[in-house]
Chains A and B, each alone.
Chain A
């Protein structure tokens, strides 16, 4: 019992490991969210551009009234 080596304090490495894990996962989730948001913006803009232009209203002139 007296010869048993004490357990080393390696908690700093453990904390570093878990911080890295959560940061990497968090960054990946954020990247999915941001890419999704940007693509939705692009989609909305492209759909707006793709809409047919509204037809010009016919102007009523005196000549057309006589006809």
Chain B
């Protein structure tokens, strides 16, 4: 068995505690929004997961560049870890958005620019893993993956700016307003506390899962090397 670093175990525990506190702030501490009711409370996890996922996709694009420059497979492992964790977080973002949309917009889904770019981003990174599955040679897999993740990384800023650049019904809660938006709201002081704490908590949870996933990638590589050694 691989020895587990003490810092990672501590980070695991801290992440669980932060997730609990964030849920408490979102569900109990923050006041109920008057127009939408309790469903507005999904906003805190929706933004928390979206923020970390989009940062993760951009981080993966940076790792792609470092891999293509250095040809060191370590960067490939980091890239895969960042994309996998981001993909899970972004799935939560999309599902939470859809659940919120049902009472706010009276529909589970609409092909609005923000929702469309978010769905495309998720599909791009699902296809990334399908691409990797189809290539056996580790060097080739890493090179193709790096180029794909670099191009795919463009979808993250496009998704982020979609509500600021296009006519959309998706509300802009932070840093602007949108005339066509439906379901927008002004945050109270308590809502801001819950919101910023969720951003912080999900950043820490992302780092924790990212670290765990990197270690899994290292173990996978060791097993692959051992398999080659045994079969030769």
Contacts and interface: CB of A to CB of B under 8 A. Distances in A.
Contacts of B226: 42-43, 46-47, 50
B47 to A, nearest CB: 12
Given A32-B209, A32-B212, A46 B230 contact: yes
A53 B135 CA distance: 35
A49 B205 CA distance: 38
B189 to A, nearest CB: 20
Interface residues of B, number: 43
A35 interface: yes
A11 to B, nearest CB: 4
Given A24-B91, A25-B88, A39-B223, A17 B35 contact: no
Nearest to B205: A25
Interface in A1-33: 7-11, 13-14, 16-18, 20-21, 24-25, 28-29, 32
Contacts of A28: 85, 88, 209
A9 B37 contact: yes
Among the interface residues A11, A21, A46, which one has the most CB atoms of the partner chain B within 10 A? A21
A16 B100 CA distance: 10
Nearest to A15: B38
B95 interface: yes
Contacts of A18: 23, 27, 42, 45
A35 B100 CA distance: 33
B96 A20 contact: yes
Contacts of B33: 7
Contact of B32 (A7, A21, A29, A43): A7
A21 B92 contact: yes
Among the interface residues B19, B46, B216, which one has the most CB atoms of the partner chain A within 10 A? B216
Contact of A32 (B49, B100, B213): B213
B167 interface: no
B37 A17 contact: no
A9 B40 CA distance: 11
A28 to B, nearest CB: 5
Contacts of B220: 39
Among the interface residues B42, B95, B102, B220, which one has the most CB atoms of the partner chain A within 10 A? B42
A20 B92 contact: yes
A24 B88 contact: yes
Contact of B219 (A11, A16, A17, A36): A36
A10 B216 contact: no
21 contacts: A7-B37, A8-B36, A8-B37, A10-B37, A13-B38, A13-B99, A13-B100, A14-B27, A14-B42, A17-B95, A18-B23, A21-B95, A21-B96, A25-B88, A28-B88, A32-B216, A39-B219, A39-B223, A40-B219, A46-B226, A46-B230
